[in-house]
Amino acid sequence: MRVDPFQREIDEDLVRVLYAQDPIAFFSHWFSIAVLVAIYWPDIPSPRLFVACFGFYAAANCGGLALWICHRRYPRLVSPRGWIYLHAVRGMLLYSAPGFAVWFAFQSPHPDLPLLHTVMLVTLAAGVFMSNGFDLLNFSTAIPFLLFPSIVLHFGTHTFDRTILAIVLAFFVCAINVYALSYRKLFQRVVQARVDQQYLAESLAAQKRVAEEASLAKTRFFAAASHDLRQPLHAIGLLAASLNDPLNDPLHDPAATPVQHAKTAEHIVYNVEALNQLFNQVLDLARLESGVTQVIRLHFRLSELFERIGSQYRPQAAAKGLALRIAPTGVIVHDDPVLLERVLSNLVSNAVRYTEEGAIWVGFRRAGRSSGGFIEVRDSGIGIPLDEHQRIFEEFYQVANPQRDARQGHGLGLPTVRRLVTMLGGELQLRSAPGRGSVFRFPVQGGDAGGIVASLNEGVAGGPSAQGRRVLCIDDEPSILEGLASLLARWGCVVRGARDEADALAALGDGFVPDAVLCDYQLANHRTGAQALSAVRAMLARAGHEGVVTLLITGDMASAELAALALQGIPVLHKPVTPARLRRTLDMLWQQADLDKGRAVAARGLSVGDGGFDSADGSPSGDHRPPRMSF
* Secondary structure string (H, E, C) spanning 84-106: HHHHHHHHHHHHHHHHHHHHHHH
Judged by CB under 6 A, does residue 507 bind ligand ADP? no
Judged by CB under 6 A, does residue 348 bind ligand ADP? no
Judged by CB under 6 A, does residue 354 bind ligand ADP? yes
Region near ligand ADP per CB under 6 A, out of 330-338, 397-405, 465-473, 482-490: 397-405
Using CB under 6 A, pick the residue from 25, 101, 412, 484 that binds ligand ADP: 412
Q: Can you tell me whether residue 54 is helix, strand or coil?
A: helix
One DSSP character per residue, 493-507 reads -EEEEESSHHHHHHH
Using CB under 6 A, pick the residue from 99, 363, 381, 571 that binds ligand ADP: 381
- Where do runs of H (alpha helix) occur along 387-445? 413-423
Using CB under 6 A, pick the residue from 118, 329, 438, 550 that binds ligand ADP: 438
Judged by CB under 6 A, does residue 379 bind ligand ADP? yes
Euclidean distance between CA atoms 302 and 337, whole angstroms: 9
Region near ligand ADP per CB under 6 A, out of 109-117, 377-385, 576-584, 607-615: 377-385
549-554 and 516-520 beta bridge pairing: parallel
Q: How far is CA 59 from CA 55, 56, 147, in A?
A: 6, 5, 21
Euclidean distance between CA atoms 478 and 62, whole angstroms: 97
How many residues bind ligand ADP, per CB under 6 A?
22
Q: How far is CA 141 from CA 132, 144, 492, 527, 543, in A?
A: 10, 6, 92, 78, 83
Region near ligand ADP per CB under 6 A, out of 131-139, 143-151, 410-418, 563-571: 410-418
- Where residue 364 falls (left for φ over 0; alpha for ψ -120 to 50; beta otherwise) is beta
Omega before 514 within 30 of 0, i.e. cis = no
Judged by CB under 6 A, does residue 380 bind ligand ADP? no
Strand order in the sheet with 516-520: 494-498, 470-474, 516-520, 549-554, 572-574
- Closest residue to ligand ADP, judged by C-beta, is 409
Judged by CB under 6 A, does residue 496 bind ligand ADP? no
Query: Least separation, in Å, of the C-beta of 356 and ligand ADP?
Result: 11
Cβ distance to ligand ADP smaller for residue 399 or 485: 399
Euclidean distance between CA atoms 227 and 396, whole angstroms: 11
The C-alpha torsion from 390 through 392 and 396 to 401, rounded to 10°, is 130
Judged by CB under 6 A, does residue 350 bind ligand ADP? yes
Distance of CA 282 to the CA centre of its chain: 22
Taking residues 166 to 195 in sequence order and writing x for each that binds ligand ADP by CB under 6 A, - otherwise, the string is ------------------------------
Do residues 99 and 120 lie in contact, with contact meaning Cβ atoms separated by under 8 Å?
Answer: no
Using CB under 6 A, pick the residue from 143, 384, 466, 586 that binds ligand ADP: 384
Q: Is the dihedral of CA 291, 293, 298, 300 positive or negative?
A: negative
Cβ distance to ligand ADP smaller for residue 199 or 222: 222
Euclidean distance between CA atoms 627 and 299, whole angstroms: 14
Query: Least separation, in Å, of the C-beta of 382 and ligand ADP?
Result: 5
Taking residues 291 to 330 in sequence order and writing x for each that binds ligand ADP by CB under 6 A, - otherwise, the string is ----------------------------------------
Cβ distance to ligand ADP smaller for residue 261 or 353: 353
Cβ distance to ligand ADP smaller for residue 141 or 398: 398
Cβ distance to ligand ADP smaller for residue 384 or 508: 384
Euclidean distance between CA atoms 305 and 588, whole angstroms: 15
Judged by CB under 6 A, does residue 421 bind ligand ADP? no
Judged by CB under 6 A, does residue 414 bind ligand ADP? yes
Using CB under 6 A, pick the residue from 295, 399, 485, 563 that binds ligand ADP: 399
Residues 559-587 as b/e (b if ≥16 CB within 10 A, e otherwise) read eeebeebbeeebbbbbeebeeeebbbbbb
Using CB under 6 A, pick the residue from 224, 333, 392, 588 that binds ligand ADP: 392
Judged by CB under 6 A, does residue 621 bind ligand ADP? no
Query: Least separation, in Å, of the C-beta of 237 and ligand ADP?
Result: 24
Cβ distance to ligand ADP smaller for residue 303 or 355: 355
Judged by CB under 6 A, does residue 413 bind ligand ADP? yes
Euclidean distance between CA atoms 241 and 268, whole angstroms: 11
Cβ distance to ligand ADP smaller for residue 355 or 554: 355
Judged by CB under 6 A, does residue 232 bind ligand ADP? no
Judged by CB under 6 A, does residue 410 bind ligand ADP? yes
Euclidean distance between CA atoms 139 and 19, whole angstroms: 14
Query: Least separation, in Å, of the C-beta of 560 and ligand ADP?
Result: 29
Residues 6+ apart with CB under 8 A from 384: 392, 399, 430, 432, 433, 434, 438
Using CB under 6 A, pick the residue from 382, 495, 516, 593 that binds ligand ADP: 382
Cβ distance to ligand ADP smaller for residue 202 or 356: 356
Query: Least separation, in Å, of the C-beta of 225 and ligand ADP?
Result: 13
The DSSP H or E segment spanning 168 is helix 160-244
Residues 6+ apart with CB under 8 A from 393: 414, 415, 418
Binding site for ligand ADP (CB under 6 A): 350-351, 353-354, 379, 381-384, 392, 398-401, 409-415, 438
